[in-house]
Amino acid sequence: MIGHFTNTDNMNTKEDNKIVMGFWDTLPKDGSIIMAPMADVTDSAFRKIIAKYSRCGQEGGGPDAFYTEFVSADGLASQQGRPKLLHNFVFSEQERPIMAQIFSNNPKNMEQAAALCVDLGFDGIDINMGCPEKNICKQGAGSALIQTKELAKEVIRATIKGANGKIPVSVKTRVGWTQNEIETWIPAILECNVAAIILHGRTRKVMSKIPANWDWIQRASEIVKASGKPTKIIGNGDIVSLEQGREYIKRYHVDGVLVARGIFGNPWFFDAEKTQVTVEEKLQVMLEHTEIFLEELKDHKNFAVMKKHYKAYVNGFDGAKELRVKLMESDTYEEIVEHVHAFLEEHEEVKKVMIPC
């Protein structure tokens, strides 16, 4: 599972401003396409499927970087909590470079969690300061830290201290709490000398109810670049294809984009050469995804987590709705297999139909 990213030439510290850039300096100079972290989505099973079917390590394939799901640093600091959370930090070599994403409003716990991430062999650490979920914000973590900028800076600096100059630290956040605050929020983050700022083009208030504002992201990019620091700026919000991602990198002058919901049901998303699959192939990959989930996560996660993936996999072909309903009503892998095989046997004319990835 675990081994350290040993290319020391790329683990350089910028002497002028003490920013450890690490793998961020190895990403494509014309812009990177990165797989976003999503709770109960980008777990080890899903990342394995993405790595396999997006041809990671091959030209024109694979995301330029991976994330874990976000993990509570407070939980990791607890003797009882840590063993229950470590499954979130399992990864394969095919997923490199990979960042561990952690969250808390407690600087001490973030420092300890960062040191753990170094020991586990991650290529980078990302601080979640963007999650809008109510329970996370009630803790003063996630996007709530936008409201407490001085504490946010303490959290960032503690995380960097825990990383001990060995791997880069980035921040994933939003443009503001209830309104656009990038004119003060982005400079506050830059003060802490992070390797990258990943900016979601929405405030916490609007959640995902309106389109992401990429003009705000572009303005943030101007602020970052005017700082003279090597910090990367990555845009996030509503990217649904590789083509769109590449276009937005150029149009909004960012160093890369994060892809979130665009990868649902589409393990081939990052494979530039794969645009279509048969219905049968898509369903077989869905079953493979389920098998890996059960092998790696059945003791940690409810099987119902897979159902959000079924909604995405089973779409866009004749009979999809009926099959999807059956899958959503199923509670075991055996039932899922039975329904898929029955569908393929009963729909010979559908299973070889080519559909967009």
Rounded CA-CA distance 84/73 in Å is 12
**Catalytic, out of 131, 137, 192, 357:** 131
Name the token pair of 51: 């790595």
Q: Provide the 8-state DSSP code for 228.
A: T
Cα 183-224-226 angle, rounded to 5 deg: 95
CB 347 within 8 A of CB 318: yes
- 94: tokens are 């095919």
Q: How far is CA 7 from CA 4, 155, 346, 352, in A?
A: 9, 28, 53, 45
Tell me the β-bridge partners of 258: 34, 236
Residues 217 and 242: their CA atoms lie apart, in Å, by 18
CA-CA distances (angstroms) from residue 300 to 81, 154, 294, 304, 354?
A: 13, 32, 10, 12, 36
Q: 285-311 burial by CB neighbour count: b if 16+ within 10 A, else e?
A: bbebbbebbbebbeeebebebbbebbe
Q: At what angle do helices 107-119 and 149-163 cross, to 10 degrees?
A: 30
Known catalytic membership, residue 131: yes
DSSP string, 140-151: T-GGGGGG-HHH
Q: Which residues share a beta bridge with 33?
A: 257
Q: Which active-site residues does the annotation give?
A: 131
